[in-house]
Amino acid sequence: MTEAIKETSFNFEGQTDFYRGKVRDVYFFGDRIAMIASDRISAFDVVLPRAIPFKGQVLNQVAAINLNATKDIVPNWLIDTPEPNVSVGIKCDAFPVEMVIRGYLAGHAWRTYSAGKRELCGVALPDGLKENDRLPSPIITPTTKAHEGHDEDITREEIISQGLVSEADYSALERYTYDLFQRGTELAAKQDLILVDTKYEFGKYGNQIYLIDEIHTPDSSRYFYADGYQQRQDENIAQKQLSKEFVRQWLISNGFQGLEGQSIPKMTDEVVKSISDRYIELFEKVTGEKFIQNSAVSDKKTIEQNILRSVNGQ
């Protein structure tokens, strides 16, 4: 198996803090951060035991391409990508919610709908829909941001009444979310893909709202192949998709949904390689570019030097 980056443990000169998330290692340098996209993979808010080669590189590079393609809509945090797995940017004060937007009835939305509920995050859903149907119009279904455990659905009204985000800022986040989803939909269509749903995270630096984290990646988004979509719907056939949903479905089929008392199924070399191959497939399909595998993940000294040069503006 190709070596994967499961975690990093740098100790940089000038480093002011460190945070390890589910899949990212984040190093702080005053008002700058270096975010390393590791090859860890999570599902159902649980980090799985084995890392997936090239997954971090895919996430980092897809995110950089899409951040650059949307910076006319909203400023974003990204300054530089000094390594295939690394992004350096502005340290923002993150809003404690994730802006999830859905154009189709899939994933969590479908599981909620199929359980008989007709409201998601305060948004009414019409009767008569089936899995993967296009919604009448995109809907925003925000969640809380949990450092540990599960993110929770929340309504617009709850976000504002609890003081998580001011009404003025939340209205701006909604506008940005709809506009970003429209741009993402257009970019996906050029690659014969459908952007099904995705999430955006925002923060503030001073009084300015910035788009932060990653966008339109397989970890944050779900894509269907446009070719044959309607025929598959008409024939009640599962959609061909590019997303992390296939990992969730593999876990579900092996008796794991992140619930108490459940054990993560064994991830064989074959399973790990198949997940890696799917991530690479998504990169090439979403971007239209050939994926170049970064085989120098073990060269930690070079990574360290390039991060420092970038943080210091060199």
Contact 218, 241 (CB under 8 A): no
Q: Amino acid identity of 281?
A: E
Contacts with 47 (C-beta within 8 Å, 6 or more apart), sequence order? 22, 23, 40, 41
Separation between Cα atoms, residue 295 and residue 285, nearest integer Å = 21
The pLDDT of residue 26 is 96
CATH number at residue 231: 3.30.470.20
Contact 5, 83 (CB under 8 A): no
The pLDDT of residue 213 is 92
In a domain, 251, yes or no: no
Q: Amino acid identity of 52?
A: I
CATH number at residue 268: 3.30.200.20
In a domain, 3, yes or no: no
The pLDDT of residue 296 is 60
221: helix, coil or strand?
A: strand
Same domain, 115 and 167: yes
Last residue of a domain, one of 214, 243, 272: 243
Residue ranges for the chain with pLDDT beneath 50: none
Same domain, 109 and 223: yes
In a domain, 166, yes or no: yes
The structural domain count of the chain equals 2
Same domain, 53 and 138: no
Last residue of a domain, one of 243, 273, 296: 243
The pLDDT of residue 148 is 56
In a domain, 4, yes or no: no
**Could you list the residue range(s) of the whole structural domain that residue 278 is in?**
17-93+262-311
In a domain, 36, yes or no: yes
Question: How many residues appear in the chain?
Answer: 314
Same domain, 99 and 169: yes
**pTM (2 d.p.):** 0.89
The pLDDT of residue 303 is 87
How many other CB atoms are found less than 10 A from the CB of residue 17? 11
The pLDDT of residue 149 is 54
The pLDDT of residue 219 is 81
Separation between Cα atoms, residue 246 and residue 307, nearest integer Å = 33
Give the rounded percent of residues in the chain with a pLDDT score beyond 90.
Answer: 82
Element (H, E) at 303: helix 300-311
Same domain, 141 and 165: yes
